[in-house]
């Protein structure tokens, strides 16, 4: 399953809920959730801990827009919108954690 999260982990518990619930599969960080993909954030440890179970992707246009493209945590896969589409195709279903 593809889990899509769009909120910063420092203002919302959405990403944490997703990580606590998702059994496995793919996680895509878009919009303000891309802040979770950066080194040095207070959430870094929690995201890294989940990277064993979940394959984590970040939507690069959103990370670039926020000026943090050079701080992506190692092991996260950068994708563009075509890659986003590809992830929805590769997974049987998807959930946007709104």
Partner 1 sequence: MSDVKKFMFVNRKAPYGTIYALESLEVVLITAAFDQDVSLAFMDDGVYQLKKGQQTKGIETKNFSPTYRALEDYDVEKLYVEKEAMEARGLSEEDFIVDVTVLSRAEMGAMMDEQDVVLSF
Partner 2 sequence: MKFGIVVNEGPYQHQASDSAYLFAKAAVTAGHEVWRVFFYHDGVNNASKLTEPPQDDRHIVNRWTKLAEEHKVDLVVCVAAALRRGIKEENLAQGFRISGLGQLVEAGIKCDRLVTFGD
- Nearer Cβ to partner 2 (6/38): 6
For residue 82, state whether it binds partner 2 (rule: CB under 8 A).
yes
- Nearer Cβ to partner 1 (20/39): 20
Tell me how far, at minimum, the Cβ of 26 lies from partner 2, in Å: 13
- The encoded tokens of residue 35 equal 């802040």
Contact 19, 43 (CB under 8 A): no
Residues whose CB falls within 8 Å of the CB of residue 42, separated by 6 or more in sequence, listed in order? 10
Neighbour-count burial of 42, counting CB atoms closer than 10 A to its CB (0-12 exposed, 13-18 middle, 19+ buried): exposed
- Nearer Cβ to partner 2 (31/44): 31
Binding site for partner 1 (CB under 8 A): 1, 13-14, 17, 20-23, 25, 93-98
């Amino acid at each position: 399953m593809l889990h899509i999260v769009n909120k910063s982990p420092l203002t919302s518990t959405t990403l944490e809920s997703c990580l606590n619930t998702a059994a496995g599969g793919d996680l895509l960080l878009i919009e303000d959730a891309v802040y979770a993909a950066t080194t040095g954030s207070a959430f870094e440890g929690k995201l890294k801990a989940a990277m064993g179970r979940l394959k984590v992707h970040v939507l690069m246009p959103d990370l670039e827009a926020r000026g943090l493209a050079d701080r992506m945590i190692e092991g996260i896969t950068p994708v563009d919108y075509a890659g986003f589409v590809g992830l929805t195709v590769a997974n049987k279903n998807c959930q946007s954690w709104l």
